[in-house]
Amino acid sequence: MTAGIMSSQEALQQLINALSLGSTYALLALGLAMVFSILGLVNFAHGELVTVAAYTIYIENEHGVPFAIQVVSAVVAASIAAVLMERIAFRPLRGAGFVTLLFSSFALSVIIQNLFLAFVSPRQKGVAMPNVFNTAFRFGGTYSIGWLPVITTITCLLSLVVLTLFLRRSVQGLGMLAASQDFQVTRLMGISANRVIMAAFAISGALAGVAAIFILARRGTVEPTMGFNPVLKAFIASVIGGLGSLSGAVVGGFVLAFIEVTLDATLPVDIAPFRDAFALLIVIAILYFRPEGLLTRSEER
Amino acid sequence: MQATSVDILTVDDLVVRYGPIVAVQSVSLNVRQGEIVALLGANGAGKSSLLNAVVGLVPIAGGLVKFKGEPINKLTPEAIVRRGISLTPEGRRVFPRLSVADNLRLGGAVTRDRADYDAAHEHVLNLFPILGERMRQNGGTLSGGQQQMLAIGRSLMARPALLLLDEPSLGLAPIVVDQIFELLERLRREGTTILLVEQNVHRALEIADRAYVLASGRVESHGEAAALRASAEIERAYLGIGVSE
């Protein structure tokens, strides 16, 4: 992308790019925030849920499974993986300190990466995605817009709507919101602690699975360490929004994406490789003025 | 409803420890069907620990808790509320960023039957009409007294046979305190058994049938509320605090 004044075609495409990137970040950050708000755990193995989903698609792709089934099973696999993480790595440590849980999640992340490395391949593998993801459509006669960012944005926003309805309208969802505000009293309502925690992980996994489909479509390859970048971005997004705030995580995801896409579009070519450094500088500036994040928990509605 | 001689709650030799600190030391007490029993004592006497142990929020180090004749020691808080014990915790602890309606809805989460749920909801709004006017407001934006009403209403949504109340009048204006105590008498008339932890000794002994006085995690004295009102035991347990009220 070259610097300079953008055409309206370019501006529209960049806007959609930012929305699509932001909505993927939002799903990932929301998963992190959901677990954090209930358990006080920053799950750095969250990125490996993306890896699990991506490899599910890769393996099924190799065996000629229809794409629709690949997509559904990727989301289910990430969700199951998240529930298993909780059972195996976090439940035995229930009530342990923040740092203990954090280290456990780091360990889990490394172990899962090495499982893929040992049992699949240490190298990058190409994954053929449906053609529609590589094509563009005409819009208003003059604009050409890529299908991938449009589908990404719509799917991710739909996931957010479904999740919001579940959290706000169902007793189980309200129980999860309640658990993030006062876990003990939520149990006094007769709502099972284990079930709330399991649901938080299952949802965070499913959201990561949905995000993974589009991360994979964008990069076109799988590799064991592919979860690192997404979890890092998700963490930054949730810190921007205010760690533990669900709406903050979504807002943070979009803010981070808009910063990145704007820098991509405006930085001179020779500085472009340092885009992430500039993005983080802006994040630091935001946190300097809003140390608690954009949406602190007391302001959340 | 008149108090009968049937125990709804029996606490036998209960011990609660937080690490090396003993909060409750072999306390035995019972609550009979239809009674209001007051649990009195100075700060740190172990009253809240006892309530929290009964509902399973803090682990029991020794002794036995029986509800309707069945041991509930090993049950989780979520299982105990389903058996019919609700705790309105100290400090109200309404869900601050959920609406009044959602707070109540969660209180009724254990009620499977739709008609039972609706009846409980109507009952609560009947007891606290102000909550009906604030349904869409977040719990955290209510006044202290309204929050206490919401906290009690939320507990009642589970239609408990036994209601445990931890300091329901703490920090409230006198007129609201009056309302709370009137409410407790009304609930008793309607058949709810109540175990009440209160700082306001005077008011508590007025409405209670019986009372236990705890000091340093032990039962210092117990008996008919009327008899305790006249005795000096209370004064000693409180070191003079709260008696002049």
**Tokens matching residue A43:** 């799950």
Domain residue ranges in chain B = 1-84+160-245, 91-158
Give the pair of three-digit tokens for residue B105: 């809805």
Residues within 8 A of A (CB atoms), B 53-92 only: 55, 57, 76-78, 81-82, 86-87, 89
Residue A13 confidence (pLDDT):
87
* Residue B22 token pair: 């003993």
Amino acid at B90: E
Q: Show me where the domains of chain A are located.
A: 7-226
Give me the pLDDT at residue B237, please. 63
Task: Name the DSSP letter for residue B99.
Answer: B
Q: What is the mean pLDDT of chain A?
A: 92
Size of interface A-B (CB pairs under 8 A): 66
B78 with A174: Cβ contact below 8 A? no
- Which residues in chain B touch residue A300, judged by CB atoms under 8 angstroms apart? 97
Q: Is the pLDDT of residue A93 over 60?
A: yes
For residue A80, give Cα distances in angstroms to A35, B156, B228: 15, 37, 59
The model's pLDDT over A173-207, given as tens digits with 9 standing for 90+, comes to: 999 999 999 999 999 999 999 999 999 999 999 99
The per-residue pLDDT for B240 is 47
The reply to whether A35 touches chain B by the CB within 8 Å rule is no
CA distance A206 to chain B (A): 25
pTM for the complete prediction?
A: 0.90
Task: Name, in order, each residue with C-beta under 8 angstroms of B55's C-beta and a sequence gap of 6 or more.
Answer: A188, B77, B80, B81, B85, B87, B164
Chain A residue closest in CA terms to B89:
A185
Model pLDDT for residues A206-228, shown as the tens digit of each residue: 999 999 999 999 999 999 999 99
Write out chain A residues lying below 8 Å of B55, CB-based: 188
**CATH number 3.40.50.300 is the correct assignment for the domain at B1-84+160-245:** yes
CA B148 to CA B176: how far, in whole Å? 9
| Positions of chain B with pLDDT lower than 70, given as ranges | 1-4, 232-245
Give the closest-approach CA distance of B69 to chain A in angstroms. 21
Percentage of residues in chain A having pLDDT higher than 90: 79
Q: What is the pLDDT of residue A3?
A: 45
A90: left (phi over 0), alpha (psi -120 to 50) or beta: alpha
Contact B109/A at CB under 8 A: yes
Taking an 8 Å cut-off on Cβ atoms, the answer to whether B95 and A175 are in contact is no
- For B84, the closest chain A residue by CA position comes to A190
The arithmetic mean of pLDDT across residues A144-169, rounded, is 93
Identify which of B57, B76, B106 has the shortest CB distance to residue A189.
Answer: B106
Give A171→chain B minimum CA distance, Å.
7
Mean pLDDT in residue range A83-92 = 95
Q: Do B57 and A187 touch (CB under 8 A)?
A: yes
Per-residue pLDDT of A10-51, as tens digits, reads 888 899 999 999 999 999 999 999 999 999 999 999 999 999
- 8 Å CB contact of B109 and A175: yes
Q: Does B145 touch chain A (CB under 8 A)?
A: no
Contacts 24+ apart (CB under 8 A), A275-283: A280/A236, A283/A236, A283/A239, A283/A240, A283/A256, A283/A259
pLDDT of amino acid B233? 63
Q: In whole angstroms, what is the distance from residue A189 CA to residue A185 CA?
A: 7
Minimum distance, in Å, between the CA of residue B86 and any CA atom of chain A: 7
Rounded to two decimals, the ipTM of the complex is 0.91
User: What are the tokens at B56?
Assistant: 């399973």
Interface check B105 vs A, CB under 8 A = yes
Each residue's pLDDT tens digit, A96-120? 888 999 999 999 999 999 999 999 9
What pLDDT, on the 0 to 100 scale, is given for residue B232?
A: 65
- From A190, A193, A300, residue closest to B109, measured CB to CB: A190
Out of A171, A193, A301, name the one closest to residue B105 (CB): A171
User: Which residue of chain B comes nearest to A301, CA vs CA?
Assistant: B97
